[in-house]
Amino acid sequence: MKKRQVGTSDLFVTELGLGCMSIGTEEKAARSIIEAALEEGINYFDTADLYDFGDNERLVGKALKDVREQIIIATKVGNRWHKERTGWSWDPSKAYIKEEVKNSLKRIGTDYIDLYQLHGGTLDDPIDETIEAFEELKAEGFIRYYGISSIRPNVIREYVKKSSIVSVMMQYSILDRRPEETVLPLLQENGISVVTRGPLAKGLLSDKLLDKASEKGYLDYTLEELQDILPVLKEKVASSRSFTEVALQYNLSNPAVASVVAGASSTDQIKRNANAVRSQPLTNEEIRMIRELAKASIYNEHR
């Protein structure tokens, strides 16, 4: 599987990454999904301390222990579980980040984290202090690089301006083209890579199409709009290939994108996603058609 550089770092990640939140908590099943990903050549695994109260990090670390030097592990910090585990609070403080990284390292069973990401962020955060925490962790060797996971343009701009982030994880798909209007050009211009999540828009951009639709629609798309748009997209762009291929290749067609992180709850899903990433890139005409049918401006039309 092809690899792309993350920003200006020496991290080279496969075009498809595994979003580990969906692997479940049963160790045997989770390990089979991770092993299937390895067999497909995937080297990028994304987890977070928040997932399953840290158990996700443990499962990921255990399954990848024997190939640790060949793969890239990304995890996240900033959400602090309440003691009762009934919810969590946001804590981007330097003290918490420097404390929590040690817990993540212990759970994963590793001496370092390849990519440590702030799991959110607001303009009200102590951003300078947060950046200082990540920079110190880099200097101390606990992490190799850091990034943020955010969909907030103003927050992203602050980190572009003030920090040495190498990546931004954000939701991006044919049905969620907001990043194209806001931050993708900025990140590309500054040599910062995008790691995308939600590329299949909760299954709407898979071959199941409207089977996954709900009365609520999706983001600013009403159900009626989805019923209009998705079949036309299928006919015009995905008549000779799977919709999954079109969806993943659309993300990869943007030069700012380093990897598409897709979840998987079965080994079959891993194989389908891997085949989709290995398929032919979209042509300029296909990209033009997608952008014509799924207009980014829909987000402004409904507000």
The CA-atom distances, in angstroms, between 74 and each of 54, 88, 95, 186, 207 are 14, 21, 20, 23, 29
Active site residue 51: yes
The CA distance from 179 to 193, in Å, is: 13
| End-to-end Cα distance, the chain | 41
Give the pairing of strands 12-14 and 3-5.
Answer: antiparallel
The alpha helices in the chain, defined as continuous H runs, are 27-39, 55-64, 94-108, 127-140, 153-162, 178-182, 184-189, 223-237, 243-252, 267-278, 284-293, 298-301
Q: Is the distance from CB of 265 to CB of 273 less than 8 angstroms?
A: no
Token pair of 81 as six digits: 């579980």
Which tokens is 99 given? 């404390």
**Of 51, 116, 145, 146, which residue is the catalytic one?**
51
The secondary structure of 131-159 as a DSSP string is HHHHHHHHHHTSEEEEEEE---HHHHHHH
Residues labelled catalytic: 51
